[in-house]
Structure 1
Amino acid sequence: MNFKTTWAKLKTRKKLIDCFKSGGIHLTYEMSDKTKRLILPKIHSVDSTDNSTTIIFSLPNGLDPKLLQKHFYVFQQHFGKSIELEGEYKKYVLTIHHTSLTKSLKYNYEALSPLLSDLDVPIVCGKDSNGNIMVYDAITEPNCLISGEPGAGKSTQLRSILTTLIKYKSPDNLHIYLGDLKMSEFFLFKGIQHVKSVCIYPQDMARMLDHIHAEMKRRGELLNKHEATHVNNLPAFAKVPYIVLAIDEIVMIMDDKEMKKQLVQLVALGRALGIYCILSLQRPSHDILDTKIRGLLTVRMGFRTTDLSNSRIIGTPGSEKISRETPGRFLIKRDELTELQAPYLTESKAREILAEYKDEGWTDMFVGSNSPKMGGIKIEQLTEEDVFNDVK
């Protein structure tokens, strides 16, 4: 280790000690001579790379860990805003990013394309503080929850995810079903070849969910017949398209016990069957997102939320601190919590991109009918026995 590196680490340690002192993150003991002694957190290591500096420290026994969150602004005052603090109870890791997140990220499919080539159902997330674009495959991480206040960036994130899927997959390989009970998000996707329905009324949504459940049952029977564990392993003649179900503002259907049960079954069973869900809402609560459905939504994207309670419900504590001045900024929870900037796709640019996928003869599969348009075949309502074979 050269002198320059050693000096830099010492300066970082000194800065963190100053941070502990100015933030009151310490224990204080009065000595016999009436002087006061400070018991500061113990710094175990300081390690730096070109992109970041990582500091590991532990709190002395008896120091309230809540002080770290309460005085997080002190860490930002000393180290800047591009920092992360992780840990609980005693041991913590402070990461200081040398490069900060971009304040905006223009959507560019051509730049994204090389990152998608090895993925079956790519979900584009955003760019991290190191300049890396995060993309994951819904095949391995099948269900996503997106939450955020109006204007935080939730809507454009949905727009960029769906637009990317449409450009990447052919209409024969991907079917998209959309629920838009607010009647304000998914109108851009009407008429797109991949899109089978854009439901804006609960009765249409119920028919759509019935249809997807019938398809789920059919696919389960296909897997059983061909002794396959995933639709990707079906023989060529039995291949089925992937299905993506995106519902915006799910709070508007969660009071309906039947639709809620159907949705839980879809997120629980859809992975092997090639059926993947993207659910979004503005303000989460324990009533809307009970532990059953939360546990099945493996990926969480938390844009700016109202308070810490909301951010904890969706699993992205810290999203309540995101500034209104940085729309599109969010925390994503996968294996770990990461701060990203979402790609910004304007409505006009989305229209331009999607124009080539429009079908003039397109009709909505469910809207305005008494049953799904499937060659006159009416889909029967599924029972729990239809979905779970072990239920008697």
Structure 2
Amino acid sequence: MPHPSDVVIRPLAEGEWDRAHDQTDLAFHRSTRGPRRDRMRTWTVQPDTVVADDGGRIVGTAAAWRWTVSVPGGELPCAGVTIVTVRPTHRRRGILRAMMARIADEARAAGEPLAALWASEGAIYGRFGYGVAARVQTLRVQTRGGVPLRAPVPEPLGVELLEPEDAHPVVASIYERARARRGGIMSRRDADWWTKRVLGNAPDEIAAQGPLRVVVAGDDGYALYRVEEGAETSPVSAWTTVHVKELVAATAEAERTLLTYLTRIDLADEVLLPGRPVDDALVLAPVDARAVQPEATHDALWLRILDVPGAVAGRSWAADAQAVVEVEHPEDDHVAGRWALRVGPDGGTAERTDAAPDVVLHARDLAAAYLGDATLTALHDAGVVEERTAGTLSALDAALRTDRAPWTVGVF
């Protein structure tokens, strides 16, 4: 349904940032005023933003960072879609559809074969071709008594604490190296994003969890954490939790080194690590198989393919496969249709074809499988992917296989 003629989708004009942010505050049930809003301004003025204008009122917002995302074998330009909102009084008028189409068109014009977002609601974005491409889990580690590892790291650990205001160049370099290990990690090449958001340590953000701490394991890994003292459990002690904001490493040994450091922090009872990969090797590392306990798992990065040939050519493939894939996408004629895929260790191509399809699937499911999170076989078993030529899904799954599950770091 087209949006009403009196609602115009247009770029955010100079001087309108606060009005647009008032709309996002309304949509996300928050109030960002004073110093926090001033800080947010420094890291959110960069993305290309569109607004829905109803007679001079901003009633919707959508924006996209011009970023890249790691994919198997490299990285690709990717629109980092964010602050997608519609005023409650303007629902079901086609505004969201119009803004999402505008964002997709601008991303394609910028040469971005992919778009990605974090979804506030799980039932909205599939219709636009976004599929869950990376999930994360929370890990909890009880630390009293120590957490010895089956393969202990060398002593002394060789870790160093940095002041947050000095840490940006070091941790940014580690982050970039770590992106090559897994698909789904967005680039962070804007200094303000690092210094104001990731490493932000303003007094009004510290609250009960205490100041941000930055620990690095040489040039190979870093952890950002805060320590929170909870309720007293005896006359002289309180239950203390180490909240890990990020643990990112370019090597497996650095990951184990940082886990060892975090579990040895004095006067701490547990370490909480949210946002970890679903196949995190840290779960397998301790002598005690129950020491690192997985808790909640949830969707993280949602991916949309905007350019099928560009996406196919832009990643590596683990095995040879050929198939005609029919992609259903009512919202996007650029992607919908039949594609002849030829992929293998030497590369991949996708071309339009009129041949009979071997596989029929929605664009959201193609995106869910692209980084290796979901298998096409599992999606077939879920009843959402149709296999018309026996053996095609197994061959494509073998080609899509990755050594590590995709992962994404931090909400944007």
- TM exceeds 0.5? no
TM-score normalised according to structure 1 size: 0.24
When you count strand as a share of all residues, which structure comes out higher?
2
TM-score normalised according to structure 2 size: 0.23
**Structure exhibiting the larger radius of gyration computed from Cα positions:** 1
When you count helix as a share of all residues, which structure comes out higher?
1
